[in-house]
A and B are shown apart, each in its own frame.
Chain A
Amino acid sequence: MNTSAISSLFDPNMILFNVEAKDYEDLLKKLSAQLIEKGYAKESFEDAVIEREKVYPTGLPTPGVMVALPHTKPEYVIKPAILVANLKEPVFFKEMGNGVNDIPAELVFVMAIDNPEQQVDVLKKLMDIFSNKEILTSLKSCTEVVEVIDILETQVF
């Protein structure tokens, strides 16, 4: 994969701070709207990502800062992007692979992925971040887009 393909997955407009939502459905509506508005996802992405989250939840009990990585099928994606939302207050997601435990997610990565085989390298690196308490904590404490980009560039690109 070339660098531009990787960099293009993160758009400064898709890095959001102090996001507020009353629950994960409300949150996914707001975040989907961003991806739809900027031409990354189809209108149908919103319902698809919420429905998938209900059946196959994506909360992860990651060390330090818990995360969720909502996503859905490639058919709802126009061009690939990963939206990063830093939440004002934790929003509860169900735990992936378990579906019962509540995960108070503080960082949410909405993945609009259209070609997983091509994008798997960047996804793997993103997953490496999820097992690193220090990086998650510094991502959580970011207040500026450039700081987030800086961490992601160092860790992912």
Chain B
Amino acid sequence: MTEEYIDYLTKGVCVLKRIIVACGSGVATSQTVASKVADLLEQRGIDAEVEAVDIKSLDTYIKNCDLYISITPNTSTKFDVPVISGIPFLTGMGMNEALEEVEKTLKG
């Protein structure tokens, strides 16, 4: 039994890493990026929950995630979780680097 699993059982701490992707409508772009990131992580054997959310519900969701993938113009808001740009997953340019960053953040 892994330490994380014991934590999960004893403290109710969810071990599954959670990523959120937000866009202005919560449809199309965020769904697509979320699904693409989920596929890429799965191919690399990384278990994570990737969820698309509406930017307006970001405040609620961000408290409960390990990483925020942003595809909206950067506001000056500071977040408690790491933020990376989701644009490389749409254009394919710099996608491997972005994916490595996601992987590093999840492991970190």
Contact = CB atoms under 8 A, between A and B. Distances in A.
Interface in B60-103: 70-74, 85-87, 89-93, 95
A55 interface: yes
Interface stretch (A14-22, A30-38, A84-92, A95-103): A95-103
A72 B28 CA distance: 9
Interface magnitude class on chain B? 20 to 34
B25 A52 contact: yes
Interface residues of A, number: 32
B31 A116 contact: yes
Interface string B32-71: 1001100100000000000010010000000000000011
A120 B35 contact: yes
B91 A71 contact: no
A63 interface: yes
A69 interface: yes
Nearest to B35: A120
B27 interface: yes
B19 interface: no
A148 interface: no
Nearest to B95: A131
A105 interface: no
B91 A97 contact: no
Contacts of A123: 28, 31-32
A97 B28 contact: no
Specify which of B27, B31, B86 lies most central, judged by the most chain A CB atoms within 10 Å of its CB. B27
Given A127-B32, A130-B90, A131-B92, A73 B72 contact: no
14 contacts: A52-B24, A61-B93, A72-B25, A73-B27, A97-B85, A99-B72, A99-B74, A113-B27, A116-B52, A124-B32, A124-B35, A127-B89, A131-B93, A132-B92
